[in-house]
Structure 1
């Protein structure tokens, strides 16, 4: 089978949204070439040797996806361009937005793309491992097995990795957790492995729920996590000690309207997916509902903010 490589040069802000478009078109995997991330690896000491130079231009991210060359390809390419234009129309910065396509030699992309995904340790204890790699956990490390798929969230993006670091500190044994906009289910899985016992994972996109369930079963946490389609917390039940919302600023702002009804007394809201330009908007919305900032982290143009109800 022949494959078409679709590549777009875009911004950090648009990365997740474009990945979702690719996935909706049926791409098996999405490759994100982020010079900021490569710089981090070069300076982290994780590589014994590399001749890759430090990038000086880090604003442009290149995203690639691979679609089968068949009778549906032209329509999918047209849809991709239309969806990218729709993002621009909604005010999302896409620039430079250069889209290119090329046909690859006949090869098994379903195996070839795996070279881009490896075991990562985004926190102090949590290790994210794809199924095709072997890893022997050290000391108190906790391994989550997760393959890249149609639902966003594998632990490498700054928004997710910041959440993981905070979950290591926030999750207490036996606590109740709501994961709003669960994506791949990664944060729910981590909460379960850290000791939470009653977790409700919800997402507006019903198509991701099957993937979430598969990921729960792969990690043997399906007995403590329930999965449901929900617009924010419309379909969650009771009050949680911890609400996780790794989504986008506009949705987090809407979430505050429902928070009092679903967050326990002295409970915590952990938010991420907030671009730096929208930090003040989210904090102001929180304040208007009586919530104050407990902790704020920033990485690569994104923010992760923890809130609690003010006395």
Structure 2
């Protein structure tokens, strides 16, 4: 991927909840945002195709009927070091009680205890700040994958794969279609001294293995629906599927599809406008589907 230029997109703010808008933009691969009065100037990798941008603009249209994609100007701009921007503001924090995330140049506060994740922020591949990532972390902490085989789809920085391993997963396979994300994930594995995590470039087609005990996917709603058959092929009969990247308003688009696939909803987690859904192939006693 070229680092010499970016795609710059101007998005009018009228009718948007800023938190929802920023969450969607980063979920779809935004590298940085500049606030410019009544609009945001949003940067994407040069490798993004016009089709990718159009999919995002279509999602924004569904979220905000007052938004008109034709108002957006998209053009190439010179490279800006967003990693340097991130480093100015990234400090140790707890996305969930007992789970600490810090960059490699910071130390944890005195007296901090719990699981430590060291994440070098590279182009927003996943630092734990976004609500959907926090919800995935919350789900992993509540239901730790001890001695289980885990698949992490869309691993980004590798944050969930690393956490799964630190929480006792026996084996983790983590995939991402973005080679730069995998490079960042590999660096973060080294920073955390974690083994037992295998990184692969691609989507489910690079995972011929079956019988996963847990599948993790923090990706946008369209991909969650597209990959559902592949999830079912790879999930063992007693396995669980934990997904996020879903807006509350899209809940009724995702639930029926996953229920029709034969999954049972174990728990629903929420933070602001975002959801995480925990599914099992078998009905769990005492849980209503």
Equivalence for 1:133: 106
**Gaps (5+ residues) in structure 1?**
24-29, 34-59, 68-75, 101-107
Distance 1:132 1:96 in 2: 42
Distance 1:130-1:139 versus aligned 2 partners, 3 A rule = closer
5 Å-filtered alignment, 1:181-196, equals 181-196=154-169
State which structure, 1 or 2, has the greater radius of gyration over its C-alpha atoms. Answer: 1
Question: Residues 206-240 of structure 1, C-alpha deviation per residue, up to 9 Å, x if partnerless?
Answer: 3321111111111111x210011232365252311
Structure 2 residue 194 is matched with structure 1 residue 225: no
Distance 1:299-1:63 versus aligned 2 partners, 3 A rule = farther
Are the aligned partners of 1:181 and 1:247 in contact in 2 as well (CA < 8 Å)?
yes
Are the aligned partners of 1:203 and 1:232 in contact in 2 as well (CA < 8 Å)?
no
Aligned residues: 261
Are the aligned partners of 1:294 and 1:306 in contact in 2 as well (CA < 8 Å)?
yes
Are the aligned partners of 1:268 and 1:307 in contact in 2 as well (CA < 8 Å)?
yes
**TM-score when scaled to structure 2?**
0.75
- RMSD across aligned positions (CA): 3.6
Question: Residues 93-130 of structure 1, C-alpha deviation per residue, up to 9 Å, x if partnerless?
Answer: 47488989xxxxxxx98655423221110112111101
Structure 2 residue 201 is matched with structure 1 residue 238: no
Are the aligned partners of 2:86 and 2:121 in contact in 1 as well (CA < 8 Å)?
no
Distance 2:269 2:39 in 1: 22
Structure 2 residue 270 is matched with structure 1 residue 298: yes
Equivalence for 1:176: 149
Distance 1:62-1:260 versus aligned 2 partners, 3 A rule = same
Pairwise CA distance, 1:305 = 0.5
Distance 2:99 2:201 in 1: 27
Are the aligned partners of 1:175 and 1:197 in contact in 2 as well (CA < 8 Å)?
yes
5 Å-filtered alignment, 1:88-237, equals 88-89=57-58, 91=61, 93=63, 95=67, 111=84, 113-136=86-109, 138=111, 140-150=113-123, 152-221=125-194, 223-232=195-204, 234-237=206-209
Distance 2:52 2:199 in 1: 28
Distance 1:237-1:302 versus aligned 2 partners, 3 A rule = same
